[in-house]
Amino acid sequence: MMIKQNLSGKRIAITGATGFLGTALVERLLSSIPDCELLLLVRPGRRGAEKRAEKEILRNDAFNNLREKLGNEGFDELCKKRVTAISGDVGTDGLGLDETGLIELAKCDLFIHSAAVVSFDSPLDQAVEVNLLGPVRIAKTLNELAISPHLVSISTCYVAGSRRGAAPEDPVDASPFFVDVDWKIEVDAARRIRQETETASRTPEHLEGFRKEAREELGAAGTPALASKTEQLRSRWVDDRMAEAGRSRAHSLGFPDAYAYTKALGEIALRESALDIPVSIVRPSIIESALAQPFPGWIRGFRMAEPVIISYARGLLKDFPGIPEGTIDVIPVDLVTATICAVAARGPVEQPDIVQIASGSINPLRYGHLFDLVRAWFTLHPVYDEIGQPIAVPGWDFPGIHKVRKQLERGQTLLNKTQKAFDQLPIRGSRADVIAKLEEQRDQIEKALGYVDLYGAYVECQAIYGLENLLELWNSLDEEDKNDFCFDPEIIDWNQYANEIHLPSVVKAGRVPMSPPSKKGQDRETRLRNQILSPDRQLAAFDLENTLIASNVVSSFAWLASRRLSRTERIRLVVKTLLETPQLLSLDKQDRGDFLRYFYRRYEGAPVSQIYEDSAEQFSDLILSKSFPEGIRRVREHKNLGHKTVLITGALDFIVEPLRPLFDDIICPKLGRNGESYDGRMIDVPPTGESRYQALADYAAANELDLRESVAYADSASDLPMLEAVGFPVAVNPEVRLASIARKRGWLVENFGKSPGISNKILPLAPHRGGKA
Amino acid sequence: MNTNDKETSRPSPRPGFVLDVDRNTPPIVFHHGENFRLEKLPPGRSRVVYPSEPLEGLPDPEGAIKEALLNPLGDSDPLPSLLKPGMKLTIAFDDISLPLPPMRKPDIRQRIIEAVLDMAAEAGVDDVHLIAALALHRRMTEDELRHAVGDRVYDSFAPKGLLYNLDAEDPEGMVVLGETPHGEEVHFCRRAAESDLLIYVNINLVSMDGGHKSTATGLAGYTGLRHHHNVHTLRNSKSIMDRENSALHASNWRMGDVIKDAGVKIFQIETTVNNNTFGREGPLALLQKREWEWSARDRGQFIAMQRGLDLLPVKAKRRIFGGWQSPYELTSVQAGEVEAVHKKTIENVYAQQLVTVEGQTDILTMGLPYICPYNVNSIMNPILVMCLGLGYFFNLYKGKPLVREGGVLIMSHPTPWEFHPVHHPSYIDFFEQVLSETTDPIEIEKKYEKQFAEDEWYIHLYRNSYAYHGVHPLYMWYWGSHAMQHLGRIIIVGGDQKAVRRLGFQSASTLQDALEIASDVVGPQPTITHLKNPPLVMADVI
């Protein structure tokens, strides 16, 4: 009864409760320790600490058992009584605590520090702030409060660095392989690198590069959209540089990555800052899904091994580095929480107090064995691809890390080239979707390459973590504790763990399709379509060209211009227009507004009444002939549902006039007049790019409509500002760029087509007025 | 026009007849959209109803027209005495749906209208409007109007706005003349109603056309049409081709009385044409020949044509067939009072088309050609395939249907899932949305007619573009409702499976398969009748 008794009624401060280990720990303490009170230090984020704790911790399925046992109300009551969430952040000095926070903290008997930046590719300075300085800040705050609760700080076995052989439960700097560096200098260096990188990212050359990249991705989407994309790219560039800096610094000191490196220095820094505070360090190896508690297979978030496993199951990882007879040191999360409870219950002992919880030394899981288990499992339970075919998983040869990387890089280069080539082609609709898929594949390879870089070091690591202190602690427990708080790594049966616990949980968490898509249930598209066609929507905005009709302003012009021409004049017009097409296309690509401005000059001198008369004919011969019946039907469906329907187009008013009954309103450019004829200049700024968004926003505001409850249909990336502004964007026959954006963001993609059977006019010429000669 | 030499050298046309199929009967040509099929019918229990050979055309059409105008039938004065200076004259004429295929120039309408206009000019009439009697059909294009009335008439009237398509959705342009004793509103073109004389120029291609239907239907809109274009009326029209037994015609005749009582004076001009649909010579002449009389050259030509068509994409085939104009010849023209004129007209139609057939059959087969009244210069969509087979060909009977109640209809047509977006916009929506839910005519009428008829977008397209009215696809469906009720099963051979299923029919890839499927309904040794049509043939089933 040692653990329960000792911790019962204690007040325990916890950091990192929103994380995988932290959530499991909170659950364990609430369910197994009577009457202990928990003070959770949670970064407030946008929701505030309390809301976050409620939404992100207590609603987690880890608490399902507890909820079931107590009922929802009972559980809420328990939480109210025993859990307090306050704003706190180990990344800022003073832990970001306000006065009440400090008072609350001062009442604590025990402090469990579990917050960490665990991502293996996090920017160096972030890892330094949290992993290295976090423990220091905790110690400092506790000292300032003049209290010295038992501080249990969670670290990692990998602080031992990339090495072979025994790694005992010793302080980091006691290792013969430790390269002695001053953690304070490391902190300064990391902060300086951040500053330098930020500065570098703002040089004109770099900014120009980001802008170019943004433009390549979005096309003529308008200045604000490009600007925000550019800034996003810049900040991602800085983060990438910082992650790289972390990786190289870690490698240079013999650590697999920035995580292990900052954690190692964090241990040293904590020892130096702790003063009178009794510290226990718990070092788990790779934490994976639960063996038994809160329930077998429980896992939170996508962690280290999962993405690799899923990528493998999807057939993406044809090979992976690693040494088949080497050990992969995995430990189920509940063994870790049990260890933490036991260490906390036992209380402080003589310093340094370090407990490792790992499996390698007494119950090793061989890498090759794990691979065989995974492969057998996915052969039995294959993941299904998009067209409902099971994916066969490959065997691995376990070549060295360099060979694997080369293999993946080759694939990446090929796909890059293919995509560059496709980007140049005017492709839309379902074909563009193929390219979007290609891009997805490239992303996946990129990810796989990332895994190889990130985790390669881990699977090739052959350190064996000593468990003397752990086993001593284990042996000191009575039978009841051993039963309730089991952390004996020997109890794990790896075959059972992989087959029955971990892999089922990984595919569930990864939401990968484990059966062919069923025909019965509503598929994603139907669901999205139902959302769009819900009476709750308020406004449906439509682009015209390639969204509702397969025609464009050039065709319209050619048709109108040819309406009253003789045969030779018609041919001349066609040739002229064809010759100009490349120039027009490139102008259109750069800036749609400029293109329209330039192109519409051609209407200069055209008699107004004649244009109106001919446009009425063009409506049937060109517009309706090339219309997408499904698109037109969709407009009408929206209208019938009581949504406001609005057409926002760069086509001229007389062209779209016959479409007026279809819409509640039409926003389109008009040409100025010079007496009875047009002057070829637009009266207003045409609604393209961001001004299309502006037109929509103005319209919604004027009609008191909520854009979040609105739908927008468009075909091109230049319509992004409009699509992004509404709650329900629909990409119609998207060109490549928009197809890939829509795919990534889960937007509905519609492929509207012309009526089957209508013959294609090669040239948009009007039938000659006055009948056949 | 034929020279006298040719005429005398030709043997006199043989009447239509019923062929009993035996083992020596060669395969029969079935129309199959823009192609043909050769089908061997089971000997001993099959028969083929052959149309009559084309009757001789009138040697002097212009003379015959003049003659008819001067010697009207029934209670009517000769046309010249009806024409007075200062009067309001309206000439209405049949639209693009007649004849089928369109006839070679000069169109009969042009000849008649020119003759009428000559007389009107002579009489000093200067307020003349020419109106294409569309009802809810699509507007005719400039080219189509030019073809029907000729360039001379078009150029003198159209630019001034005096030659135009009826707009049955123009609230100003339409008027309700009254109600029949059955409570049917008579909706009518205002200009026609307010004219001192309405002259109607008709082409009576089949016995359904003409009579009071010309004006009561052709110059009406939805308000009037709904009283007879409905499932109840059409199920009680047995058949719509037999005016005496057609509830559709009874309603039109009642409306005719109301029109007369409202003081609208009608001078009806009706014409009939012969069966020279595919020409006595030329690439399609084979279709007018009986298969056992084919020469070796004919056979070779047919196979070559069939192979050639197989290779062509459907759009190209559509262009080729769409360009075919029939060398129809005028067989009669009669003018004067509507009912007297129509009685004579029907006699003349029957003289060309009626064939006596003994008894009904278990299975009726028919090959559907590439054209029906609603896809001239357009696309024959699946709904039109249904309507041509069930609405028109099935109804080409007098007495009782060729197939017994509960029997099977087998039609041959590719039935592609294709639509003309300009001409048939509401058809697309009807096919996609309504037929995917139900194919029951009663339910469709109840649930969807109002919605399709009053839809503003469809009305906009009917009035300003070239679209059939929103309600038109529903009318097509009603047209087939008598056949749907009568038949035990409907099978389409060689059709697009998905489209056929959407229509609620069964699809078979060959005639043999279709007969196999039919045996579920009619047993293993059914009797089969093939209606070899067109050229047009109408069965008098006794």
Among the partner residues B416, B456, B466, nearest to A757 by beta-carbon distance? B416
- Please give the angle made by the CA atoms of B437, B441 and B444, to the nearest 5 degrees: 50
8 Å CB contact of A756 and B419 = yes
What residues of B are in contact with residue A632 (Cβ under 8 Å)? 425, 457
What residues of B are in contact with residue A621 (Cβ under 8 Å)? 422
**How many residues are present in chain A?**
773
Based on the domain organization, do B32 and B123 belong to the same domain? no
**How many residues are present in chain B?**
542
- Tell me which of A147-151, A593-597, B353-357, B493-497 is least confident: A593-597
Alpha helical stretches, state H, A533-624: 553-562, 567-590, 592-599, 608-618
- The DSSP code sequence of B66-117 is HHHHHS-BSS---HHHH--TT-EEEEEE--TTSSSSPBPSSPHHHHHHHHHH
Return the residue of A nearest to B151 by Cα. A771
How many A/B residue pairs have CB atoms within 8 Å? Answer: 69
Best residue in B144, B380, B465 for a mutation probing chain A (most A CBs within 10 Å): B465
Task: Supply the pLDDT for residue A526.
Answer: 86
Best residue in A635, A639, A754, A755 for a mutation probing chain B (most B CBs within 10 Å): A755
Task: Check: CB of residue B259 under 8 Å from CB of residue B215.
Answer: yes
pLDDT band, residue A304 (cuts 50/70/90): low
| Final residue in a domain of this structure, among B224, B256, B273 | B273
Q: Does B425 touch chain A (CB under 8 A)?
A: yes
Any long-range contacts for A269-275 (C-beta under 8 Å, 24+ apart)?
A269/A132, A269/A133, A269/A135, A269/A136, A269/A183, A270/A135, A270/A136, A270/A138, A270/A139, A270/A153, A271/A171, A271/A351, A271/A352, A273/A135, A273/A136, A273/A139, A273/A140, A273/A143, A274/A139, A274/A151, A275/A139, A275/A143
Based on the domain organization, do B449 and B513 belong to the same domain? yes
Tell whether the model's pLDDT for residue A770 goes beyond 60.
no
| Final residue in a domain of this structure, among B240, B273, B306 | B273
Residue type, A627: S
Among the partner residues A636, A661, A758, nearest to B421 by beta-carbon distance? A758
Which stretch, A302-316, A447-461, A727-741, B423-437, has highest mean pLDDT? B423-437
As a 3-state breakdown, chain B gives helix, strand, coil percent values, each rounded to 5, of 40, 20, 40
CA distance A612 to chain B (A): 13
8 Å CB contact of B456 and A627 = no
| Separation of alpha carbons B530 and B28, rounded Å | 9
Residue-wise pLDDT for A130-143, tens only, equals 999 999 999 999 99
| Final residue in a domain of this structure, among B273, B306, B327 | B273
**Can you give the pTM of this predicted structure?**
0.76
Q: Taking the CB of residue A772, how many other CB atoms lie within 10 A of it?
A: 10
ipTM of this predicted structure: 0.90
Q: Does B329 touch chain A (CB under 8 A)?
A: no
* Cβ partners under 8 Å of residue A217, min gap 6: A229, A717, A737
Q: Does B315 touch chain A (CB under 8 A)?
A: yes
| Separation of alpha carbons B510 and B152, rounded Å | 50
Which residue matches tokens 């308008």? A222
Task: Supply the pLDDT for residue A419.
Answer: 67
Backbone φ and ψ of A679, nearest 5°: -100, 0
- The DSSP code sequence of A614-651 is HHHHHIIIIIITTB-HHHHHHHHHHHHTT-EEEEE-SS
- Name the DSSP letter for residue A172: G
Tell whether the model's pLDDT for residue A401 goes beyond 70.
no
| Separation of alpha carbons A49 and A42, rounded Å | 5
C-alpha dihedral (B282, B288, B292, B295), degrees to nearest 10: -10
- Tell me which of A330-334, A513-517, B140-144 is least confident: A513-517
Among the partner residues A624, A661, A769, nearest to B422 by beta-carbon distance? A624
CA distance A388 to chain B (A): 23
Asked if residue B307 is part of any domain, the answer here is no
Closest C-alpha to B509, from B497, B518, B501: B497
Backbone φ and ψ of A670, nearest 5°: -125, 155
Encoding tokens for residue A55? 């939404």
- The DSSP code sequence of B295-336 is -HHHHHHHHHHHHHHHHS-HHHHHHHHHT--B---EEEEEEE
Please state, for a pLDDT cut of 70, what percent of chain A lies above it: 92
CA distance A581 to chain B (A): 28
Task: Supply the pLDDT for residue A213.
Answer: 87
Task: Supply the pLDDT for residue A772.
Answer: 43
Based on the domain organization, do B223 and B173 belong to the same domain? yes
The beta strands (E) that lie in B167-308 are given as 174-179, 185-189, 197-201, 266-273
Task: Check: CB of residue A721 under 8 Å from CB of residue A221.
Answer: yes
- Please give the angle made by the CA atoms of B342, B346 and B352, to the nearest 5 degrees: 150
Residue type, A516: P
B132 DSSP β-pair partners = B93, B165
What residues of B are in contact with residue A629 (Cβ under 8 Å)? 419, 421, 425, 428-429
A1 or B352, higher pLDDT: B352
Q: Report the SS3 class of residue A521.
A: coil
What residues of B are in contact with residue A756 (Cβ under 8 Å)? 416-419
Best residue in B457, B496, B498, B502 for a mutation probing chain A (most A CBs within 10 Å): B457
Encoding tokens for residue B125? 């009439």
Cα-based distances in Å from B78 to A55, B88, B126, B268, B340:
94, 17, 19, 12, 14
8 Å CB contact of B464 and A772 = no
A644-648: strand order across its sheet: A665-667, A644-648, A539-542, A710-714, A728-732, A748-750
8 Å CB contact of A757 and B418 = yes
- The DSSP code sequence of A758-772 is PPPPSS-PPPPTT--
8 Å CB contact of A771 and B143 = yes
Closest C-alpha to B274, from B370, B369, B351, B374: B351
Task: Supply the pLDDT for residue A395.
Answer: 78
Which range of residues forms the domain containing residue B77? 61-273
What residues of A are in contact with residue B468 (Cβ under 8 Å)? none
Based on the domain organization, do B209 and B111 belong to the same domain? yes
> What mean pLDDT do residues A101-121 have?
87
pLDDT band, residue A302 (cuts 50/70/90): low
pLDDT band, residue A424 (cuts 50/70/90): low
Task: Supply the pLDDT for residue B494.
Answer: 96
Encoding tokens for residue A519? 């025909």
Q: In chain A, what are the domain boundaries?
A: 520-550+628-649+687-755, 552-626+671-684
Asked if residue B269 is part of any domain, the answer here is yes
8 Å CB contact of A771 and B154 = yes
| CATH number of the domain bearing residue B474 | 3.90.226.30
Beta strands at B35-39 and B28-32: parallel, antiparallel or unpaired: antiparallel
Rounded mean pLDDT of chain A?
85
Encoding tokens for residue A390? 């099971």
Asked if residue B511 is part of any domain, the answer here is yes
Based on the domain organization, do B232 and B107 belong to the same domain? yes
* Cβ partners under 8 Å of residue B313, min gap 6: none
B357 DSSP β-pair partners = B541
Q: Does B318 touch chain A (CB under 8 A)?
A: yes
- Residue A298 CA neighbour count, 13 Å, CB half: 23
What residues of B are in contact with residue A630 (Cβ under 8 Å)? 432
Any long-range contacts for A435-443 (C-beta under 8 Å, 24+ apart)?
A435/A736, A435/A739, A435/A740, A436/A736, A436/A739, A436/A740, A436/A742, A436/A743, A437/A386, A437/A743, A439/A740, A439/A743, A440/A740, A440/A743, A441/A415, A442/A412, A442/A415, A442/A416
Asked if residue B118 is part of any domain, the answer here is yes
Among the partner residues B419, B457, B461, nearest to A757 by beta-carbon distance? B419
8 Å CB contact of A755 and B421 = yes
| Separation of alpha carbons B38 and B32, rounded Å | 10
Based on the domain organization, do B188 and B228 belong to the same domain? yes
Task: Supply the pLDDT for residue A1.
Answer: 45
8 Å CB contact of B464 and A658 = yes
Helix pair angle (B61-70, B108-123), 10° resolution? 50
Encoding tokens for residue A495? 């075959």
pLDDT band, residue A517 (cuts 50/70/90): low
What residues of A are in contact with residue B465 (Cβ under 8 Å)? 619-620, 624, 658
Task: Supply the pLDDT for residue A502.
Answer: 84
- Which residues of chain A approach chain B closer than 8 Å at the C-beta? 616, 619-621, 624-625, 627, 629-630, 632-633, 636, 658, 661-662, 754-759, 767, 769-772
Return the residue of A nearest to B143 by Cα. A771
Which residue matches tokens 């014409």? B271
Asked if residue B220 is part of any domain, the answer here is yes
Among the partner residues A619, A756, A772, nearest to B465 by beta-carbon distance? A619
8 Å CB contact of A629 and B419 = yes
Q: Does B244 touch chain A (CB under 8 A)?
A: no
Based on the domain organization, do B31 and B70 belong to the same domain? no
Chain B, window 375-394: residues with a beta carbon less than 8 angstroms from a chain A beta carbon: 379, 381
Asked if residue B12 is part of any domain, the answer here is no
Q: Does B6 touch chain A (CB under 8 A)?
A: no
What residues of A are in contact with residue B460 (Cβ under 8 Å)? 658, 661
Residue-wise pLDDT for A116-129, tens only, equals 888 767 899 999 99
| CATH number of the domain bearing residue B262 | 3.40.50.11440
- Residue B69 CA neighbour count, 13 Å, CB half: 24
| Separation of alpha carbons B215 and B193, rounded Å | 10
A520-550+628-649+687-755 carries CATH number 3.40.190.10: no
Question: How many domains does chain B contain in total?
Answer: 2
Best residue in B165, B431, B461 for a mutation probing chain A (most A CBs within 10 Å): B461
Task: Supply the pLDDT for residue B34.
Answer: 94
Encoding tokens for residue B294? 């084919």
What residues of A are in contact with residue B421 (Cβ under 8 Å)? 624-625, 627, 629, 754-755, 758
- Tell me which of A564-568, A612-616, B152-156, B437-441 is least confident: A564-568
What residues of A are in contact with residue B151 (Cβ under 8 Å)? 771
CA distance A708 to chain B (A): 28
Which residue matches tokens 């009170």? A37
| Separation of alpha carbons A344 and A8, rounded Å | 11
Closest C-alpha to B418, from B452, B449, B385: B385
Give every residue of chain B whose pLDDT is below 70, as ranges.
1-9
Asked if residue B455 is part of any domain, the answer here is yes
Asked if residue B342 is part of any domain, the answer here is no
Whether the ω angle into residue A352 lies within 30 degrees of 0, i.e. cis, is: yes
Among the partner residues B318, B421, B456, nearest to A629 by beta-carbon distance? B421
